[in-house]
Chains A and B, each alone.
Chain A
Amino acid sequence: MEFVVNWLAATPGHATPLLLAALGLIINERAGVLNLGSEGMMLCGAFAGAAAALATGSPWPGLAAAMAGGAALAAIFAVAVVVFRTEQVVTGLIMVALGAGLTGLLGRDLTNQTLPGLRRLDLGPLSEIPVIGPILFRQDPAAYLAVALAIGLSVWLVRSRAGLRLCAVGEDPAAADALGLNVQRQRMLAVIAGGALCGLGGGYLALVSSQVWVEGMTQGRGWIAVGLVIFARWRPLLALAGALLFGAIEAMIPRVQAVGAAVPVYLMTMLPYLATLAVLVLAALRRRRDDEPAALGQPYLRQDRH
């Protein structure tokens, strides 16, 4: 029982960075831009967050810098795919390499310094409730923020006029253009906002999860987020559920090792990626591709003759 409570209490901490990145990607992809560079943007966020937190001695400027870091790399990506209409898949892959390379180079001096981390909230008597207390009421503020963000984004996409316009651009840019929407600007903003959320996810890893900067510390979580978006069928609330599922798997790994179960370490650390693969296969088998934004991955230029 204690094992289960501890495991579930640790799950949100693992789920939050995945959720933040997935939400960022949902904004991206709903606007029709396929962003495979999330791994690189998360790394930029982690690095910028670590550097800013060290410089200021406080985690909150760190998280703000993390968003800026992710957004900066996303801005490069946006200029390439939206303005110059480069191939989105290849450009995204380049962003991963760019993010990894840049942060590796710049982050040498930061390595192994303890960062001022974000504390868990103390909700007083609520967190003392047995079982529920540690799981629901003893998390850090960023985790609650991420949940609120998922709910807010879900409402915004479906209920607001601006959200509707974002989706219109991702569904049919030619139609959106004919209605007077500025397709390029919408896409630019969506990519940069999405990149900021990916960066925040990376910042969370550095400032909350590990409280230390390590080169390549995202360890493929950006890729898991890409799979998570497909699993969630581009819906923020399903992304929340998916992030918790993947977070639970991740949280399981150190615990299984701690109780001394004879499972090979490498097999255990492979689990999240295997789960991602399984999810993608399942999504493909279900043939629910009709949820995908119709113009995903397609560049748009008005004077192209169609």
Chain B
Amino acid sequence: MTAALPRAVSPGDARSAISISGAWKAFDGRPALKGASLEVAYGEVHALLGENGAGKSTLMNLVCGLYAADAGRIEIDGRPFAETGPLAAARHGVGMVHQHFKLIPRFTVAENILVARAGASAPARRADAARRIAEVAQSLGFAIDPHARVGDLSVAERQRVEILRLLLLDARILILDEPTAVLTDAEADAVLGLLRRLAAEGRAVVLITHRMREVQRYADRVTVMRGGETVLAGAPCAECDQGRLADLMVGQAVHAATPRVRSADGSGQRVRLDAVEISVHRPDGTPAVDQVSLTLRAGEIVGIAGVGGNGQDALVEALYGLAPISGGTLSLDGARIEHAPIGARRARGLRIIPADRNDFALIPAFRAYENLALTEVPRGGFGFWLGLRRGRMIAEAEAAMAERAVVGGTPRTPTRLLSGGNAQKLLLARELKTAAGDASVLIAHSPTRGLDVAACQAVHQALFDLAATGGACLLVSEDLDEVMALSDRIGVMSRGRLAGPFPRAEIDRARIGALMLGHG
């Protein structure tokens, strides 16, 4: 229904909301914006497309006053915007939903709106705020409890609270930074439909994204950024085709993901990882993983789909040894490992790409070569006691980084300075390296979340290569497209239980969708 709402009139006769030209901004001497420009009109959804690090968020942070531009002209409503500070931006009617939500989890929905400094029309009392929240939510077609603690809300609900807050604070220009990155398809459609509706009411909406589908279905015009510059300025979406946009984004022809070449049937291959009815219990005694059985054979990628929070985290932790398995058996290459410590599991070739690499896999303050050597040092791989051989670590890191095409740093670069994609490649280089003989068994949890197209491809290629050399991979991901594209067999987790895995050919999106919701 929302998609049927009228699109904005042609951009020519709409009033200008945002006009930026020649914007420069550098951080620590490294330019993030190099003369970028953007024109957004009232009444349209304007997609801002680009890879990670293209400068999309930085550009928008100029408009909402979080950063001051080093050079360039910024106009809001056709008047120069020279002040800085979020308060000034809010006075001009600019509101932004950041990628990391700016909500305070311990506060209720109403309190989160009350704390904002805003114009006179914004609610100033608790009862007032609660009433207005309920009203606006209803008019937008959803319900939200104004007295619920934000920390208890789902990600999709928090997103709505953010949008609601902008509206209650009288924002006329709404900027959303990758609003659908953490949502399921259905939730994303709901939010994007809402944005279309807000644009149809005359507001200006800037949609920062790197999902092509959203641009084509929900945006009126698109601006593409690459390397801090605007490479396509405000082209009507109807005239753009996906391939061209993708080329503009990455600056080179992108080929569709390499189709998997694989043997017709993997069932004859030997079993690498075998989990039989394993369970994991939360501290309160309820099961987080409920009698899950699955088998990984050599040469196989098994995908686990599901909405986040349905036991995937606990399953990954249990398989790797971070969480105790309270029931069932787990074997790796025939050896029982359900009670083995992590070190013993790693020694047998079990590896992990965790969902949050900076918390569990890489130490951001360490240099790249130190992170690469991290798992080998305790085993004496680089000498003992005072005889650690840093020279060899660096040399090996150099080779590994060249092989995995880790750019943007040398082995001596602190890991925190690497972009997300390059850090992930660095992690892959470490986790996929095996001592001798056997390829590893890899548990990959959301391995491409937040990565740009090129980095995604590198990660996918690495998983293919692993499978092709006799390794095996358990791919846990909330990105259904990824699971569908990569997996030989697909299982779906819902409330701690696993349906499947089913062979890829025997399952489709609709069936997976039903299983995600726990039916079928």
Contact = CB atoms under 8 A, between A and B. Distances in A.
Whether A associates with B in a native complex is yes
Interface of A: 161, 164-165, 167-168, 171-172, 174-181, 294, 302-303, 305-306
B449 interface: no
Interface stretch (B114-122, B298-306, B403-411): B114-122
A276 to B, nearest CB: 26
B87 A168 contact: no
What DSSP secondary structure best describes chain A's contact surface?
Answer: helix
Contacts of B235: none
Given A165-B115, A305-B27, A180 B85 contact: yes
Given A161-B124, A180-B85, A180-B90, A174 B102 contact: yes
Given A164-B111, A302-B66, A177 B86 contact: yes
Contacts of A303: 67
Contact of B115 (A168, A294, A302, A305): A168
Contacts of A175: 101-104
B96 interface: yes
B86 A171 contact: no
B61 to A, nearest CB: 10
Contacts of B64: 178
What DSSP secondary structure best describes chain B's contact surface?
Answer: loop
Interface string B58-77: 00000010110000000000
Q: Pick the most buried of B27, B115, B124: most chain A CB atoms within 10 A of its CB.
A: B115
A178 B104 contact: no
Interface of B: 27, 64, 66-67, 85-87, 90, 96, 98, 100-107, 111, 114-118, 124
Given A164-B115, A171-B106, A175-B103, 5 more contacts: A168-B104, A178-B102, A179-B115, A305-B27, A306-B100
22 contacts: A161-B114, A161-B124, A164-B111, A165-B115, A168-B115, A172-B102, A174-B102, A175-B101, A175-B104, A176-B104, A178-B64, A178-B66, A179-B102, A179-B116, A179-B117, A180-B86, A180-B90, A180-B116, A181-B115, A181-B117, A294-B106, A302-B67
B104 A172 contact: yes
Nearest to A166: B115
Given A171-B106, A180-B87, A302-B66, A164 B98 contact: no
A277 to B, nearest CB: 27
A294 B107 CA distance: 12
Contacts of B96: 178
Q: Pick the most buried of B64, B100, B102: most chain A CB atoms within 10 A of its CB.
A: B102
Given A179-B86, A180-B87, A180-B90, A171 B118 contact: no
A166 to B, nearest CB: 10
Nearest to B64: A178
Nearest to B124: A161
Contacts of B104: 167-168, 171-172, 175-176
A172 B101 CA distance: 11
A199 B118 CA distance: 35
